[in-house]
Chains A and B, each alone.
Chain A
Amino acid sequence: MGLAARIAASTLLLVPAAAAQAQGAPARYNLQTPVTGLAEQIHDMHTLMLVICLVIFVGVFGVMFWAVIHHRRSRGAVAANFHENTTVEIAWTVIPVLILLGMAWPATKTVIAMKDTSEADLTIKATGYQWKWGYDYLQGEGEGIRLLSSLSTPREQIEGGAAKGENYLLEVDNPVVVPVGKKVRMLLTANDVIHSWWVPAFGVKQDAIPGFIRDGWFRADKEGVYRGNCAELCGRDHAFMPIEVHVVSAEKYAAWVAEHREKAAGAAADEAREWSMAELMTRGEQVFGTICAACHQANGKGLPPTFPPLDGSQVVLGDKAGQIDIVLHGRPNTAMAPFGGALSDADVAAVITYTRNSWGNHTGEAVQPAEVKAGRNKS
């Protein structure tokens, strides 16, 4: 009876698993369908390990349950009195060692392959921010492109006010785009705390450590959209900083790069000129919404005591240079990270202007990109 219950309990869970696997349903019970050679190797290795472990498991517990059923006192079993047998003991030490060696061999090869980041076609630096990703195309086609990529699922879906979309929590405003079949080297770093860049279909997970550069690589074999998450607890919105990678054909990639170049050129021209108050406010509201509102909240009230309000803040109402300094360089040891790297001069100018003239703040002062530039150079 006891045994039956136990078997029922475990098979109940395994049957649907096996069934779904047979139908080839995507990634419900197993690792996601791999699209890189490395992910493929990992997938197969996992299957191998699972089988080995299952075989040992069935063997060991076959013996145990045989004893449980047949060597019961209620069945009149009388205890034998054997113990210590050197041969048996050596066998059950040595055989597992051999099995482990068999497991370690393929794993070693994969580890070495994963670490080989040389001869990449494209190098992209990803920077983790609380709670979004910044990407810099450092080398290869598209060099110089910069994007900031944050969750695009609307708040209402999360809070239950609206129906959840298909890619709920796995969608971003500016996805990373890479060409198919090219070796992409990812450099990882972070601005504030540790994050981790993870795309399961690529078999890449690499922590992004503030102050250090770490790397990993992938070569996607199939066009498509691949999604992942930040995989290291990084504070409040850790669940809300997904990664979305579009793998596209060489032509589409070239087109994407060209489009981006154009936009960037336009933006650069913008940086230099004098901005009107209205322009700054519009741009500032947008930057604030995507970057600052995560902590300071759209209504400027923050979430005290951790995240101070900007509405009525002495810093915001005080000297411009002081605020420029905080936004560019952050406050050490707090969540207020330096944003100078992620934002352009115009963005910083706009967001500061916006905070100084929103909610209950009415300084009437506009901050120009040139002032921000000066703030950057000062230290």
Chain B
Amino acid sequence: MSETLERYFVPEPSRFPIFGSVALLLFGAGAALWVNQVKAGPWIFFLGIAILIYMLFGWFGQVVRESQGGKYGTRVDASFRWSMGWFIFSEVMFFAAFFGALFYVRVLTVPALSSGENEALLWQGYSGAWPNAGPRALDTAAVEPFTPMGAWGIPAINTLILLTSGATLTWAHYGLLKDKRGQLKLGLLLTILLGAIFLGFQAYEYVHAYGELNLRLDTGIYGSTFFMLTGFHGLHVTVGAIMLTVMLCRAVAGHFNSQHHFGFEAAAWYWHFVDVVWLILFVVVYWL
């Protein structure tokens, strides 16, 4: 009976994990020193990042070689599917913490601060109308007023861009399934370009916020939630775009066939996840 089960691929000992650990040690120590204005901090931090990049290249490179070498059977493929799903679930929970913070302050904290004894004894005159930068912003001499980010300019365009990118990615996937390599490559390229345009707009929006709207990370709770949510999302778009770029390179190099292409699918799942986060973000951060 046991012959029915194919052998599961177990990799050889590998040096990459330990590189990754050293990298994160330097990364963590460097960041902790840096935020405390220790001179060596940024150096250690970037050294860590450099090692991390080396490690990621090496590690994923090896995975790609193993995959191309046909070492992964259907069971390994299933493992990859499960793990990518669970990984995305963990990312969902990470964003949930920040969305949770936004809901909490909007539904509970700000109304509480601007009413009853909180208002009467501690924060007189705080109306709590969203968006606001908290009661200390009442003192307009100390805190300059800001303009909130509108929803229907760049953010709306960005929504369209991301939705379109989801479509181009699916189109690329169809290309792959039907063995139309040109469609695959073009679809991927378009998706990456749309991602890049999205990021460009986002960067422009940040410059605009800091320069003209006086909306900054330290603009009270509105600034905090706005920049942390959109910032982490932007970071995820960047990572997603890098993943897709790798997939494009692999497609150009002739990797993937219509049966065997989980690398591509994983990147696609991730991209769609990032898309969905944006939609929620657009509604609750920009619109409402």
Contacts and interface: CB of A to CB of B under 8 A. Distances in A.
Complex A–B touching at CB under 8 A: yes
A251 to B, nearest CB: 31
B207 to A, nearest CB: 26
A187 B121 contact: yes
A379 B142 contact: yes
B139 A379 contact: yes
Interface string B99-137: 000000000000011001110011100000000000100
Question: Would you call the interface of chain B mostly helix, strand, loop, or mixed?
Answer: helix
A125 B112 contact: no
A92 interface: no
A187 B117 contact: yes
Contacts of B113: 211-212
Nearest to A305: B36
Interface in A208-225: 211-213, 215
Interface string A192-211: 00000000000000000001
A189 interface: yes
A211 B221 CA distance: 14
B1 interface: no
B141 interface: yes
A213 B116 CA distance: 9
A213 B122 contact: yes
Nearest to A329: B142
A211 B123 CA distance: 8
Contacts of B123: 211
Contacts of A215: 117
Nearest to B109: A212
Interface size class for chain A?
under 10
Nearest to B218: A332
B142 A211 contact: no
Interface in B143-198: none
Contacts of A211: 113, 118, 122-123, 135
A253 B135 CA distance: 38
B141 A379 contact: yes
Nearest to B141: A379
Contacts of A213: 116-118, 121-122
Interface string A344-379: 000000000000000000000000000000000001
A189 B123 CA distance: 13
A125 B121 contact: yes
A187 B135 CA distance: 20
Contacts of B135: 211
> Interface size bucket, B side?
10 to 19
A339 B101 CA distance: 30
Contacts of B118: 211-213
Contacts of B139: 379
Contact of B112 (A189, A212, A379): A212
A234 B141 CA distance: 32
A187 B112 CA distance: 15
A125 B141 CA distance: 29
Contacts of B142: 379
Nearest to A332: B136
Contacts of A379: 139, 141-142
Nearest to B121: A213
A98 B73 CA distance: 53
Nearest to B142: A379
A212 B105 CA distance: 13
Nearest to A123: B117
A184 to B, nearest CB: 16
A187 B121 CA distance: 10
A125 B113 CA distance: 17
A211 B141 CA distance: 21
Contacts of A125: 121
Interface string A325-336: 000000000000
- Most chain B Cβ neighbours within 10 Å, of A125, A189, A212, A213: A213
A268 B173 CA distance: 80
Nearest to B134: A211
Interface centre among A189, A211, A215, A379 (most CB of B within 10 A): A211
Count chain A CB atoms within 10 A of each CB in B112, B116, B122, B135 and give the residue with the most. Answer: B122
Contacts of A212: 112-113, 118, 122
Interface in B72-118: 112-113, 116-118
A298 to B, nearest CB: 29
Interface in A124-166: 125
A187 B122 CA distance: 12
A212 B109 CA distance: 10
A379 B122 CA distance: 16
Nearest to A187: B117
Contacts of A189: 121-122
B218 to A, nearest CB: 10
A47 to B, nearest CB: 35
Contacts of A187: 117, 121
A154 to B, nearest CB: 35
A187 B139 CA distance: 25
B221 to A, nearest CB: 12
B219 to A, nearest CB: 14
Q: Most chain-A CB neighbours within 10 Å: which of B113, B117, B135, B142? A: B117
A125 B112 CA distance: 18
A187 B123 CA distance: 15
Interface of A: 125, 187, 189, 211-213, 215, 379
19 contacts: A187-B117, A187-B121, A189-B121, A189-B122, A211-B113, A211-B118, A211-B122, A211-B123, A212-B112, A212-B113, A213-B116, A213-B117, A213-B118, A213-B121, A213-B122, A215-B117, A379-B139, A379-B141, A379-B142
Given A189-B122, A211-B135, 15 more contacts: A125-B121, A187-B117, A187-B121, A211-B118, A211-B122, A211-B123, A212-B112, A212-B113, A212-B118, A213-B116, A213-B117, A213-B121, A215-B117, A379-B141, A379-B142
Interface of B: 112-113, 116-118, 121-123, 135, 139, 141-142
Q: Shortest 6 CB-CB distances between A and B: which pairs?
A: A213-B117, A213-B118, A379-B142, A213-B121, A212-B118, A379-B141
